[in-house]
A and B are shown apart, each in its own frame.
Chain A
Amino acid sequence: GDSVTQMEGPVTLSEEAFLTINCTYTATGYPSLFWYVQYPGEGLQLLLKATKADDKGSNKGFEATYRKETTSFHLEKGSVQVSDSAVYFCALSSYNNNDMRFGAGTRLTVKP
């Protein structure tokens, strides 16, 4: 079945460092891809999405490009802030499923 694999954490960075969180997927057909963020004690919020190959999703300085040839959707940010500390989930949705498939989550801690 469809699935998502993302890099294990935790990831600890200093403020203003560059962030990459890797995400790869397995799916039949053409899924839509998402990054969700979860701040401590809260539910998940949509961060960005891409619905077709070569699309780039972006929001709050974060970006991810839908790469069909490498089945990847890596999350990047050029300069992280302390307020970016959270757990990040890669996810996919496809016409084969009635639900969203999530990766295991990557915890990011940004230190001042």
Chain B
Amino acid sequence: DGGITQSPKYLFRKEGQNVTLSCEQNLNHDAMYWYRQDPGQGLRLIYYSQIVNDFQKGDIAEGYSVSREKKESFPLTVTSAQKNPTAFYLCASSKAGTKITGELFFGEGSRLTVL
């Protein structure tokens, strides 16, 4: 079945460490996104990519980095520069940019806790 796979589902990190969250999709979608979800704040966009080897910052990109070397993969690195990284992270994809199709498909999320 086609879908989006995020891993790990749960991750614990010590302060000062970088961690990388994996996101893989087999939907043949061009666009991929990372959102952060905090209680009561909805979803906030971290980064998005509309084609391979290209990506743009979202509203809260500081302290995060991404790469898009393959169409299927869009990993997110939470760096030590991110001051409050404890959150639920959601990866999504769409057939094209949302301005064209408007529908996002989501993974099941990764919960990061900083100890």
Q: Which residues of A contact B (CB under 8 A)?
A: 32, 34, 36, 41-46, 49, 51, 89, 93-100, 102-105
The answer to whether B43 touches A43 (Cβ under 8 A) is no
Known: A98-B50, A105-B42. A43 touches B102 (CB 8 A): no
Interface residues of B in 1-47 (CB under 8 A from A): 4, 6, 33, 35, 40-43, 45
Chain B interface residue number, banded: 20 to 34
The answer to whether A45 touches B42 (Cβ under 8 A) is no
> 0/1 per residue, B66-103, Cβ < 8 Å to A?
00000000000000000000000010100001110011
The answer to whether B103 touches A46 (Cβ under 8 A) is yes
The answer to whether A45 touches B106 (Cβ under 8 A) is yes
The answer to whether B98 touches A100 (Cβ under 8 A) is yes
**B48 on the A face (CB < 8 A):** yes
17 cross-chain CB contacts under 8 A: A36-B104, A41-B108, A41-B109, A43-B107, A44-B43, A44-B90, A51-B102, A94-B99, A96-B99, A98-B48, A100-B43, A100-B102, A102-B42, A102-B43, A104-B40, A104-B41, A105-B40
Complex-state Cα separation, A68 to B41, whole angstroms: 25
Complex-state Cα separation, A93 to B33, whole angstroms: 14
Classify the interface of chain A: helix, strand, loop or mixed. loop
The answer to whether B99 touches A104 (Cβ under 8 A) is no
Complex-state Cα separation, A98 to B33, whole angstroms: 10
The answer to whether B106 touches A93 (Cβ under 8 A) is no
Complex-state Cα separation, A95 to B98, whole angstroms: 8
Q: Which of B45, B92, B102 contacts A32 (CB 8 A)?
A: B102
Using A43-B106, A94-B99 as known contacts, list a sample of 15 further A-B pairs with CB atoms less than 8 Å apart, ordered by residue number in A.
A41-B109, A44-B43, A44-B90, A44-B104, A44-B106, A45-B106, A46-B103, A96-B99, A98-B56, A98-B99, A99-B48, A100-B43, A103-B42, A104-B41, A104-B42
The answer to whether B33 touches A99 (Cβ under 8 A) is yes
Residues of A within 8 A of B104 (CB): 36, 44, 46, 100
